[in-house]
Amino acid sequence: MARETRITSPAVPTGLAAMVGNRTWFRDRVGESGCTVYRLAGVAGDDLYLKTGSGAQLDDLVDEMVRLRWLTPHLPVPRLHGFVLEGGTGWMLTGRLPGRTAYQVLESDPKAAPVLAASLGAFLRRLHAIPAECCPFNADHRLRLAAAKVRLEAGLVEEDEFDEARIGMSAQAVWDEMLDALPPQFERVVTHGDFSLDNLFVVDGAVTGCIDLGRVGIADPWQDLAILWNSLEEFGEDLPPAMLAAYGVALDPARLDFHLRLDEFF
């Protein structure tokens, strides 16, 4: 599937019209389950991104906007150009981070993988070093377990999308095994919440910033480490250990497994 499709520009709120005029519009096709995302190409490479949503997606969009504003002084993130609420729909306009996503880099240049894995680990360590006492958002495992249980009981868990290790299992079986192996303790750091290769931008092997910030909040560091581990493993079994070495932590199999299982519910 193409990552994006060129489209005719849709109508936008008056408050944003002047900022998005005379641009070529593309509909982003990555992450279709959430808000609608457009890339607005500029003549000088100064692309903008417009994300829009209503209903439950509006809640997600507001969550992302307030977290983006909070995280801006601490870490490289897209610049917020504007946010408009009109007729029950939200519109968020942001700038573009330099470079390509880590996934695109690894897909096109597998030889870059060892250096990139280390850069990703170092960048994640930088995120987790932000003082947790300054963060007003909670995203810990108890909150996520409660949300996962709601999805489980509503039949919303996509069992055919499970990772290879759990293909063929029912959501209930994954849930039961996860609770039986609940780690005895968790840490509290500022986490991204979806620290995957599509959400990290790279130039010459260095991470230039992260996007999709709607899940930022205080949680166990393995919430992020597990997702990044899983993403990197697709490109080589040696990459996750290299990432952990750069981050500066030993493998914790219990917490890795717990967070990988928990992520299956979302």
Q: Kindly report, residue by residue over 148-207, the tens digit of the pLDDT.
A: 999 999 999 999 999 999 999 999 999 999 999 999 999 999 999 999 999 999 999 999
Same domain assignment for residues 173 and 239? yes
Using an 8 Å Cβ cutoff, are 119 and 202 in contact?
yes
Do 159 and 211 lie in a common domain? yes
pLDDT band at 31 (very low <50, low <70, confident <90, very high): low
Which residues, 6+ apart, have CB-to-CB distance to 172 below 8 Å? 152
Count: domains in the chain: 2
Alpha-carbon dihedral sign for residues 199, 204, 206, 208: negative
First-to-last C-alpha distance (Å) of the chain: 22
* Average of per-residue pLDDT values in the chain: 94
Check whether residue 82 and residue 137 sit in a common domain.
no
Both 108 and 207 in a single domain? yes
* 91 shares its domain with 200: no
Residues 111, 183 within the same domain = yes
* Residue 132 and residue 51 share a domain: no
Residues 83 and 210 in one domain: no
Of 59, 63, 180, 194, which is the active-site residue? 194
* 194 flagged as catalytic: yes
Domain that holds residue 76: 4-95
Give the residue-averaged pLDDT of 238-262.
97
Q: Is the pTM of this model over 0.85?
A: yes
81 and 196 inside one domain:
no
Same domain, 30 and 58: yes
Looking at 71, 95, 119, which one is the last position of a domain?
95
| 60-71 pLDDT per residue, tens | 999 999 999 999
What CATH number is attached to the domain comprising 27?
3.30.200.20
Nearest to 105 by CA among 31, 201, 26, 196: 201
100-124 per-position pLDDT tens digit: 999 999 999 999 999 999 999 999 9
- Residue 206 CA to residue 97 CA, distance in Å, equals 12
- Please give the Cα distance from 227 to 230 (Å, whole number): 5
- Tell whether 249 and 125 lie within a shared domain: yes
Domain boundary among 95, 122, 141: 95
CATH number at residue 245: 3.90.1200.10
C-alpha to C-alpha distance for 191 and 225, rounded to whole angstroms: 10
Residues 243 and 192 in one domain: yes
* Domain stop point among 50, 70, 95: 95
Can you give the pLDDT at residue 3? 78
